[in-house]
Amino acid sequence: MALAKPSQGAREEILGRVRQALKSPAPKRPPVPTGPLFAPVENLLERFQREAATNYMEVKLASDGAGVTAALREVLASLTEGEIFVQDTPQLRQLAADTADGRPVRWSSEGAPAESSRATVSLCEGLVALTGSVLVSSGGCGGRGISVVAPCHIVVTHAGQLFPDLESAVARAREIAFDNSYVGLITGCSRTSDIEKKLIIGAHGPQRLVVILQTN
Which of residues 37 and 102 has its CB atom nearest to another protein in the complex? 37
**Interactions with another protein, residue window 107-166 (CB under 8 A):** 108-113, 115, 131, 133, 138-139, 142-149, 165-166
Site string for another protein, 99-118 (x = CB under 8 A): ---------xxxxxx-x---
**In the complex, what is the shortest distance from the CB of residue 211 to another protein, in angstroms, rounded to a whole number?**
14
Cα atoms in the 13 Å half-sphere on the side-chain side of 155:
32
> Rounded to whole angstroms, what are the CA distances from 113 to 6, 86, 208?
32, 9, 17
Minimal distance, residue 191 CB to another protein, in Å: 5
Region 39-78 residues binding another protein, contact defined as CB under 8 A: 39, 51, 55
- Residue 20 CA to residue 203 CA, distance in Å, equals 46
Buried b (16+ CB within 10 A) or exposed e, 141-164: bbbbbbbbbbbbbbbbbbeebbbb
Which phi-psi region, left, alpha or beta, contains residue 102 (left: φ > 0; alpha: ψ -120 to 50)?
left
Could you say whether residue 15 binds another protein (CB under 8 A)? yes
Cβ distance to another protein smaller for residue 60 or 144? 144
Q: Which is nearer to another protein, 35 or 102 (CB)?
A: 35
